[in-house]
Amino acid sequence: MATRQGFTIITNCVIDDERLGGADKLVFMAICRYAHNKTRKCHPSRATLMKKASVSKKPFQASLKKLEECGYIQIERRTSNGLKLSNEYTVMG
């Protein structure tokens, strides 16, 4: 399996935030991995993010909610011709 070279930058605020658990931080890390450096936006599939964060569906959904509530990400639900597309995630701050 090929690996992607480089680094993923994670804000210290997320690392230091005691409201967040390990799964929350791993999901944030996975989102940051795909975020564009300038726009901070990305739209990987839920399956991809769950795999990269090593979490199952329920903890993943809880982590997205927590990260959004804490202001670390914004989630835009996308559709095209009535079909659901992958969400667009924006990394904040």
Q: Which residues pair with 84 in a beta bridge?
A: 79
C-beta separation of 25 from 64 below 8 A: no
pLDDT of amino acid 82: 86
What the block records as the tokens of 84 is 């659901």
pTM confidence score: 0.91
pLDDT of amino acid 79: 87
Per-10-residue mean pLDDT for the chain, 93 residues long? 77 96 98 95 96 97 98 94 91 87
pLDDT of amino acid 6: 85
Ordered by where they begin, the domains of the chain are: 21-91 (1.10.10.10)
pLDDT of amino acid 5: 80
